[in-house]
Every structure is written in C-alpha cells, then in structure tokens.
Structure 1
Amino acid sequence: MDLFSFVECAKRTQSIKALFDLLVSCASEEGFSEVAYGALTFAEALRLPEYLPPAITVNFPPEWCDRYFERKYRVIDPVVRRTPMVSAPFLWDELAKQYQLQPGEQRVLDEAREAGLKHGMSVPLFGPLGRVSVVSFASPFDDVDPQDRMSHLSALAWQFHHAFAEIAQPKECGRDRVAALSEREKDCLRWVAEGKSSWEIGKILNVSENTVNFHMKNASRKLGAANRMHAVVKAIRLNLI
C-alpha cells in the first residue's frame, strides 16, 4: 500500500486499534511486522487497557513485553533514551556506532534481537510544546534491509501519528488552516511523497537542489510541519497534493 492509499484508509478509520492494525499491515508488507508506538513526553499518558503501558500500541512478542516491563528496561532502553536527541529516523544497529552505549543499553538491544526484534528502526515524532513520540519497527527476518525501507516506513509513521491525534484528541485537532501553497511547492511535495531526494527533484523540475530545499522549507513552514515527511503527510490529508 502506498502512502496515498494509507492516508485514505486512515481517514476512514475511527478507532485507534483499527488504525494501528492498518499500520501493522502496511509495515508487514515491507517485512517489518513488529510495531510499537508510544509517547515519550506527555502531561497525561493516553493508555488503552488492551496494551501494556507506557506504550500506547504495541504488537511486539508478548514474552518480550513482559520481560521489558518487569525489568523496567524503559529506563535503560537506548531507543527511548536517544530518540529525543535525534531528528531523523535511525537504525537500532547503528546506535552502538554513533554512541558509547552503556552495558545495560546494549543488553536491551541484544535481548530484543534474541526475542525476534531484528533490524529495528525508530522514527522520532515531534509535536507542539516539546512533545516527543516514537514509532518503532522491527522484523522477525534476518534478510530484510531497513535502510531500503526507511523512507516509506517513516512516512507511514508520521501519517499514523497525525491520524492518531485526530482520533484520540479530536477537540485539539481540528482541521488545519494553512497558507496557500504555490504550485512549485506542491510539485516538490508530490515528488518527496514518491521518495525522491532534493537532488533528484531538482533534475526533474529543472531547478537547483537549493531551490527545491527552499520550496520544501516554505511548504513545511506553511503546513506547520516538523520536517519534510510530516509536511507531505499533512498536505495529503488536506487534499493539497
């Protein structure tokens, strides 16, 4: 399922569980059937009785979830600890290369892999007032390539996050009002939705890479988006592209 189809299905979804099931289904098509979504900063935790706290929605192996919460791994989980410090999706396997992980942090990653959570990746999701959430994807297979799927999974994560907010807190999430987008800004957004880089978009539109970045920056500002993928998601939901 492509991003546009996901958005249309998400728009018709009225329950958080159905929305999460949709995300799991789409991620599974990419080889990443293990998914978790949770808020890392919040005034009041939004929790559902059918899911383990503090995650809002999770379908990781039950045995791993039990072990994780019983041993309070959330306190030393490098994914939880590092997510607020990065601005882009990241691979769990790369954490040890980028940071000097403590023994406890490395143990969480090693045990997660043993539990069947292989080739994990996480997408930081930033909201107003410093709110931070995260969607994590993992695969039970050894031969998947998370780097190759990162762009699409990141887009799905942002869309899920946006749709979740509309269902969970409808009073705070009325229809967005944005300044009109230029045709060039819409063109750039459409190509970003197709997974194209700024350099590739520049070649397609016969403009410089800097010009593409300029249009994307303006579009993100008008849409009140945290990054270009968030901008694409909001533009699609508003039927602007």
Structure 2
Amino acid sequence: MDLFGFIECAKRTQSIKALFDLLVNCASEEGFSEVAYGALTCAEPPRLPEYLPPAVTVNFPPDWCHRYFERNYHVMDPVVRRTPMTSGPFLWDELAKQFQLQSGEQRVLDEAREAGLKHAMSVPLFGPFGQVSVVSFASPADDADPQYRISHLYILAWHFHLAFAEIARPSESGCNRKVPLSDREKDCLRWAAEGKSSWAIGMILKISENTVNFHFKNAMRKLDTTSRTQAIVKAVRLNLIEFSASPGLPTEC
C-alpha cells in the first residue's frame, strides 16, 4: 500500500488495531516491517491493554518486547530519552554521534540489533501543548537503508499519529472542525506538499518569499501545528487540501 492509499484508508477506519495494521503494511512496503508507537509524556493517548508504558502499540519481536519490559529498558532506552531533544527524524545508528550515550543506553541499542532490529529510525511527534510521542521503524534486513526511506516514513508517521488521535479521542480530534484557511494559505500548503521551497512557491504564486512564510505561519497557527509537515498532514486529513497521487496507485483498504 502506498502513502496515498494509507491516507484514504486511515480516514475510513475507526479501529486502532486496524489503523496500526495499515501502518505496518505501508512501512513494510518501504522495507521496515517492525513498528512501535508510544507516548513519552504523561499526557499520553489511551493505551492498548496488552502493552505497558511507554508503548501504545508495537510489533517488535516478542522476545525483545518481553526482555525490554521485564528489565525496564524504557528507563535507559536512548530513543525514549533522546527523542524530546531531537527536532526531526533520526537514525538509531546516529545517536552515539549526536549524544554521549551512557553504557546502559548503548547496551539497549546493541541488544535491539541482536534481537533483529538491525536498522532503525524514529520520528519525534510534538503536540501543541508540549506532548511528545514517537514512532519507530526498524528492519530485520542487513541491507536496509533507513536514510533513503526517512522522508516517506516521516510523513507516514505523522498521518498515523493524527489518525490515532482522532480514533482514541474522537470528541477532541477536530476532524469535523472547520479551519478557516485562506486560499493563499491552502496554495502554499499544496505546493509545499509537492516539495517546493518557500522561494519556489513565491515564484509560482508571484509573491515574495517573506509573504509565503507569512502564510505558512498563519496556517500552522490555525491548524495548531508546529511545523510545515504537520500542517500539511493535518490539512490533508481535514480535507482542506488534496494529496496528489500518481494515476493508477491503489487505494483499496
């Protein structure tokens, strides 16, 4: 299933399990079949009963999950500890280069690799009131390249995160809320979704780069988001802009 198919199917599902299965299916297409989603702040979303904090839902190898929770590895897990300090997606292999990891932190990474999580990355998910969650993707394959897939998995993680919130807290999700984006704000979001920079969008719309950034700032404020990527994802979920898909891509759920 491609990203467009995931977005369309996620809009229609009302089951957390079905939504997570969609996430695993789509990530597996990218070569990363091991997935975990968790909240790192006390304001965490409702948790599936079979999982302990900080995991909300996970399909990592069962033996690794058992060892992880039995030994309270979440206390020393560098992914859990360092995610709030990281603004964007990161590779687990790069953590030791970014931070001076303690011996316990390095042990968790080493044991995770031995358990089959050979190449992995995580996506920090920041809410408007300081909430922090994370989606982690891992591959059991020796030749997997998370750096090559990082952009796709980043967008996928944010779509899942927002869809999860709508299912877990339907009364607070705002999925039916009308957000008064201006036409210019929508135009800027659409072109950004196509990968255009502020400068390029300004050339296309015949406005200055500063004006483009002004529209982005307003759109992010109205959508209660903290980055352009989050704003684009939320605008798509609210049907304020359309996600461009190539002809012939499957959308069956």
- TM-score, normalised relative to structure 1: 0.89
Tell me the residue number matched to 2:143: 143
Tell me the residue number matched to 2:78: 78
| Mean CA deviation greater in 128-137 or 170-179 | 170-179
Moved over 6 A (4+): none
Tell me the residue number matched to 2:234: 234
Residue 32 of structure 1 and its aligned partner are, at CA, apart by 0.9
Query: Which residues of 2 match residues 4-23 of structure 1 at below 5 A?
Result: 4-23=4-23
Tell me the residue number matched to 1:154: 154
Matched residues in 2 for 1:191 and 1:30: separation?
24
The C-alpha deviation readout for 1:165-216, integer Å capped at 9, x for no partner, is 1111112223364553233332332233334444555565566655544332
Matched residues in 1 for 2:67 and 2:124: separation?
24
Tell me the residue number matched to 1:188: 188
Tell me the residue number matched to 1:24: 24
The C-alpha deviation readout for 1:39-89, integer Å capped at 9, x for no partner, is 111246622233354311100011111111111110110000011112211
Instruction: Classify the secondary structure of the residue corresponding to 1:172.
Output: coil
Query: Which residues of 2 match residues 1-241 of structure 1 at below 5 A?
Result: 1-43=1-43, 46-175=46-175, 177=177, 179-198=179-198, 201=201, 210-241=210-241
Which ranges of structure 1 fall in alignment gaps of 5 or more residues?
none
Name the amino acid aligned to 1:75: V
Which ranges of structure 2 fall in alignment gaps of 5 or more residues?
242-253
Residue 137 of structure 1 and its aligned partner are, at CA, apart by 0.7
| Mean CA deviation greater in 209-218 or 105-114 | 209-218
Residue 155 of structure 1 and its aligned partner are, at CA, apart by 1.2
Name the amino acid aligned to 2:218: N
- Pick closer, same or farther for the CA change 1:44–1:120 going to 2, 3 Å: closer
Instruction: Classify the secondary structure of the residue corresponding to 1:171.
Output: coil
Matched residues in 2 for 1:167 and 1:125: separation?
17
Give 1 or 2: higher helix fraction. Answer: 1
- Pick closer, same or farther for the CA change 1:235–1:4 going to 2, 3 Å: farther
Aligned residues: 241
Instruction: Classify the secondary structure of the residue corresponding to 1:56.
Output: strand
The C-alpha deviation readout for 1:13-62, integer Å capped at 9, x for no partner, is 11100000000101111111110001111246622233354311100011
Instruction: Classify the secondary structure of the residue corresponding to 2:105.
Output: helix
Residues 219 and 231 in structure 1, CA contact (< 8 A), matched pair in contact too: yes
Instruction: Classify the secondary structure of the residue corresponding to 1:88.
Output: coil
- Pick closer, same or farther for the CA change 1:20–1:196 going to 2, 3 Å: farther
Residue 140 of structure 1 and its aligned partner are, at CA, apart by 1.3
Aligned Cα root-mean-square deviation (Å)? 2.2
Q: In percent, how many aligned pairs have the same letter? A: 79
Matched residues in 2 for 1:199 and 1:17: separation?
41
Matched residues in 1 for 2:7 and 2:88: separation?
21
Matched residues in 2 for 1:31 and 1:206: separation?
40
